[in-house]
Amino acid sequence: MLTTLVASSKGGCGKSTLVTQLASHWAQAGQNTAIVDADRQGSSYRWAGRRPDNVPGVLGLEGGRKGLQKVPSDTQQLLIDTPAGVSERELEPFIDVANVLLVPVLPSSFDLDATTHFLGELQAIKRIRNGKLPVALVANRLKPWTRASQDAVEQLAAESPFPVVAQLRDSQAYVLLAALGKGIFDYQSEQVRSHQEDWKPLLRWIKRQA
């Protein structure tokens, strides 16, 4: 089983979006996929419950640490969604079991500033320091045609101790599909193909770590 933990100190940066989109990707690839939602808001948990019958199911589990104990043994992909402002202590049980840790970041100076502190905290964690838990940043909600977006990604890459492995565009498709319990990987149409391309470097990075 591969366990992907998604976390950030910052709210609204795309943690649940990352979790649910990756879940739709792996479910579509035929893998037994489960989400443990450690956030009381339950966005990912409810998303899994909303998945329609014509797409492969994703098992949603609530309750953070307790949810981890309910993960079926035949699970191939486990995703862990976490709340904003999570403390290092709250993250600990998930850090212990994760194989990769993803940190989404929005391209704004406030978000970059807030995330820098969080990344510093991560660096102090033993499993991360000794390379047992690889960490990657995912730049989210980019407007690739704007200078500001590109500057923010360059600044992030220059300042971060961890690699920026993907840049995801800002798109209403993510908002609309989340409401339907779906992801961009549940579709094959021309409109979502460019969106899917954005995820390829991230999927490759995760595969390499596994």
| Residue numbers at the binding site for ligand ATP (CB under 6 A) | 11-17, 39, 41, 43, 84, 140-141, 168, 170-171, 174-175, 178
Q: Write down the least CB distance from residue 82 to ligand ATP, Å.
A: 8
3-state secondary structure 45-108: HHHHHHCCCCCCCCEEEECCHHHHHCCCCCCCEEEEECCCCCCHHHHHHHHHHCCEEEEEECCC
State the minimum distance, in angstroms, from the CB of residue 172 to ligand ATP.
Answer: 6
Binding site partner of 38, from ligand ATP, Mg ion, none, Cβ cut-off 5-8 A by kind: none
Q: Which of 55, 67, 70, 80 is nearest to 187 (CA)?
A: 55
Alpha-carbon gap, residue 95 to 76, rounded angstroms: 18
CA 49 to chain centre: 18
List the interface residues with Mg ion, window 36-65 (CB under 5 A).
Answer: 43
Q: How far is the CB of 17 from ligand ATP (least distance, A)?
A: 3
The single residue listed with the structure tokens 């200078």 is 147
Which of 43, 75 has the CB closer to Mg ion?
43
Which is closer to ligand ATP, CB of 17 or CB of 160? 17
Question: Closer to Mg ion at the Cβ: 63 or 150?
Answer: 63
How far is 175 from 140, CA to CA, in rounded Å? Answer: 13
Tell me which of ligand ATP, Mg ion, none is bound by residue 3, counting a contact when its beta carbon lies within the kind-specific cut-off of 5 to 8 angstroms. Answer: none
CB of 78 to Mg ion, least distance (A): 17
Is residue 140 near Mg ion by the rule CB under 5 A?
no
Which residue, among 124, 123, 105, has the nearest Cα to 113 in the 3D structure?
105
The residue among 87 and 130 lying less far from ligand ATP, judged by its C-beta, is: 87
- Interface ranges with Mg ion (CB under 5 A): 15-16, 43
